[in-house]
Structure 1
């Protein structure tokens, strides 16, 4: 039944199931977090309220004692009213503590009420009965307020214990919810991973077939038909890739035919243009003015440049084709390098240059296309000769390592500008530092070097250098054809 479903349907079902699983876990976690947040906020509010009530009880008790003593001394009813107001506020605070603390000792509450009522009775009697009665009332008032601060401290301690109990209860609930959420998240992750692995293993085979097919297309291997198994849409994709293979094969054939005919089709009119410009410069059609002669010179330069660009384009496309058809044979790099140097001896001796080769490690032959590697070394050498100053030196270094051979080419020219380093291997790219007085290059030499080295499974790069240019090639001893 799964084979009848498309890849998109299976992928959507898998993602939907995993999304629902993770979403359910996330929603549960959010609801739990919200509930715990509200609970923590309530506990914090209650703790603040308990602290405020205990502090208010202590402060109102002090105000009661102060106003009571002032009333007995000054016999001013305003102080008795102050006492009564403070007493009512203290009783309200005590009632709030009683409601907030379920296990608050009732004996302490009763004692506080008894002592405060005793103080109120003393104030109601006031200064009646003479000095002896006044002295007696003051003593009773002192006895009443001696007990109240101690009761206040005990009530405050009970409030602190209640706060600690609620905090412990909140932490216990938080820890329980944390363990529960950890289990849910771990379970959801395990299920999601198992589902992902199951879908991945089941779908990896057709995707691997698609990957191989695309690699063959990228390598211009159009001779093998493409067939992909798996879900319905993946099989359809395989058929589309096979259609693309046939289409690319036709385009490659058209490209080859175009390259075979472009030389004649373009060079013939260009030759006519160059001949016509030459006739104008020779004043065959009549004498030329200075401005006309300058225009003829510009025409001659541009037609020559256009012809050179066309020939370079043909060379580069030919190099791309040749890189895909390598002839692998054992190659002695040292002998090949000396052959290339001898072939260009006239060029570098004409500029009084010195070319030397340094070899390190145990020499080994590599499996490669000798002709293509010869082109690579020849391009590096001609590039170095072109940019080296008269009387300079060009140095080649060969290093035989365990995994492959390394070739370094260093010259004493102006080097490559930092802005050109990233594009130096692009076809037809001309760097900023061109040698003065030399013929302008075509910009494809290093592109061909990179194309041939990549075809051999190697790598070419431009290394930073204090002076001159430093190119490095790394080649394996053996390679697989692309």
Structure 2
């Protein structure tokens, strides 16, 4: 029971972390990346509403305080005028006006002091109002003027307090706005950074499987190494592509095994009857079974020639099979003079009527000796087979821009431009007859191309002014030395 619950929990966790389709992943990443931006927008709207509310409150306060101050200024002027009129006229009507003015001033003062909340000037005004309330009993004009002047000074001081209060509220509002701006800037930076981080995380969930697909394709192209296991946490479409690539790899391996096995078995099985035929020809040519007449010797000669041709074909086939199985070249410093000399010695009989002009301008080359020797053998063999009889063959090895260049040129019929594109494909033979009357396999130039490719180089047909046909092989040197 406990094991079943644990298994259900594990499978549920795997479902939680398993990614959906590529579309779901893209939309999900987009929505998740929008969450910090939505939070930033909500905070901006909240701050904007707070600023509007703060501005409204402060504006009402300023308008209210200024209005009350103006009312107090008007009340103090009316109070002073009415009291001075009473001091001159001493009538009950003027006294009634003075009392009303005093009441209005007291009310204006109380309203302003309630809003302003400055107890000191308001206390002074209360004391001065008590003095002025006895204006009927004051007969000394100088004393009355002193009371009025003191009240005007207090009102002026209160006016300054109003200005200070307004300035304090403005400073406080400015400080709040500055703090809000700083908070907004910090929140913007943090939320935008989080959003960018989420975008990078979402894109990485797509980029990583794509990188893995590129790695698999590179391994398939280079035929090196084992394929990584199939991903379990990737979009379904990319997992499907990865599974198809694994299937393709298995299929290519099967085809490669079939091809190499076919070449190996075909070459090996052909050599067994070929050896018997060669042995029989040898016995016949040695007159072991009796003396041969002229016609029989002619037939034996044709049979021996055909046997030799078949042997050459089998050797080429084995050579091509071995080349295809070689996956990694072994680079060493080689002497080009020795490589060329060994090659020309092997072709001494074929070259006895030819002049081979050799020009080697470098002491060492950084190559795989076996592969480079095959390039030399096949290019020289091709020049002998297709070059004009009795005309020289040029072999040049030199360096240019950290690259060793091999040129093998011969005189003869030029290669048509439409034939160059397929010249280095396997089992493609030219239409022109060979000088040695041997049926070619169409593998010589393809072996040259494959050997150059294994050494990260290339082969091409180039135009030169001293020959009709020139094959140029370029092998980079700097890359290998690193």
Q: TM-score, normalised by structure 2?
A: 0.48
Bigger CA radius of gyration: 2
Q: TM-score, normalised by structure 1?
A: 0.48
